Structure 1
Amino acid sequence: MGEPRYVYKLVPSSSPVPDPLPEVLPLSDLDASSGFIHLSTATQVPGTLKHFFTEHDKVYVLRIEYALHQDNIKWEDPKAEVCGERGSEGFFPHLYNGGRLGSAEVESVAVWYRNSGNWDEALDKADAWLVY
């Protein structure tokens, strides 16, 4: 499988993304405790939303150019215990760069809302924005 054009960082509404974006975004508790920034490919975003954001009605989705970080991304299982091939089933992009992600790396930010108890409508509306 080829390299993705973008990878995505999902941020819950409980940790709003500042506007304008700062030079360095604050790390989530999960990212800080993991030692890397959890990312998803466009194909993985729906599953990430449905499994990890069920308690949230709003998320910020940061679109990040993969090429800017490819040297610092490892493709690993969700717990970073097993490494795999880029884009392989079950392997997520994890950014190991000392926790630095900010305005220079974020190409754009979308705000999505969960309706009727699921993310399907938000994903349908975002289909053109999510680059596979």
Structure 2
Amino acid sequence: MAQSLAPNVAPEFVYKLISPAAAFNPADRVLPLSALDKADGFYHLSTIAQVPATANRYFPKSKFSDLLVLKLRFAGIEPQVKWEAPKGEHTTDPIRIFPHVYGDLLQEHVVGAILLDWDEQQAQWDFSAGWEDRLQR
């Protein structure tokens, strides 16, 4: 039997990164799929620990003018989540195992959002202390 890659303790929240921010419409029932989501057949999500690295690796300022982080309550989507390593990786390192949602990801699970600032000096998205606390609905 295959080893489960799910964490021993489920997170309270997971996060969806969206760019451009205008792709997110609070009135929509279902969250938008990115081009990568469409190609892979699932929504790519991150845990709180994964968000900064995911943002700076996959959403470079040279290609993305803004970046919206959505906070989702995990309990509501847990049945749709598969914990998986990135394509081609065979790892059990928790920081490399990501929550992926198969099927529609409903807006009702969003409990907060933040539009990130770009830190010119650091040349990366601004995840200064307390960014998680600024996630509001």
Pick aligned residue for 2:23 from 3, 7, 16? 16
Task: Give the 3 Å change call, closer, same or farther, for CA 129–2 of structure 1 in structure 2.
Answer: farther
State the TM-score, normalizing by the size of structure 1: 0.80
Which residue of structure 2 lines up, in the alignment, with residue 102 of structure 1?
106
1:26 paired residue number: 32
SS in 1 for 2:67: strand
Question: Higher Cα Rg: structure 1 or 2?
Answer: 2
Query: Paired residue for 1:128?
Result: 133
* Cα pair distance change 1:24/1:127, threshold 3 Å: closer
Taking the TM superposition and a 5 Å limit, the aligned residue runs for 1:26-45 are 26-45=32-51
C-alpha offsets along residues 7-63 of structure 1, whole Å, 9 cap, x if unaligned?
000011265312x33111231111111111000000000110111111324201111
Listed as ranges, the gaps of 5+ residues in structure 2 are 1-7
Cα separation, partners in 2 of 1:103 and 1:89, compared to 1, 3 Å:
closer
Residue-pair matches, total: 123
Question: 1:80/1:111 Cα in 2 relative to 1: closer, same or farther (>3 Å)?
Answer: farther
> In the aligned structure 1, how far is the partner of 2:90 from the partner of 2:79?
18
Task: Give me the whole-angstrom Cα distance separating, in 1, the residues matched to 2:90 and 2:134.
Answer: 30
In 2: Cα distance, 1:101 partner to 1:38 partner: 11
CA separation in 2, counterparts of 1:30 and 1:101? 15
CA distance in 1, matches of 2:85, 2:96: 6
TM-score (norm 2): 0.77
Relative to its length, the structure with more helix (as a share) is 2
Name the structure, 1 or 2, with higher relative contact order (CA <8 Å, separation 6+).
1
Output the amino acid matched with 1:31: D
Match of 2:115, as an amino acid? V
2:133 aligned partner, one-letter code: A
Of residues 67, 75, 90, the one that matches 2:75 is 67
Distance 1:72 1:102 in 2: 11
Aligned partner of 1:17: which letter?
F
Query: What is the SS of the residue equivalent to 1:47?
Result: helix
> Given the superposition, is the C-alpha separation of residues 62 and 14 from structure 1 closer, same or farther in structure 2, using an over 3 Å criterion?
closer
User: Once superposed, which parts of structure 1, at least 4 consecutive aligned residues long, lie more than 4 Å away?
Assistant: 80-84
> RMSD over aligned Cα, in angstroms?
2.3
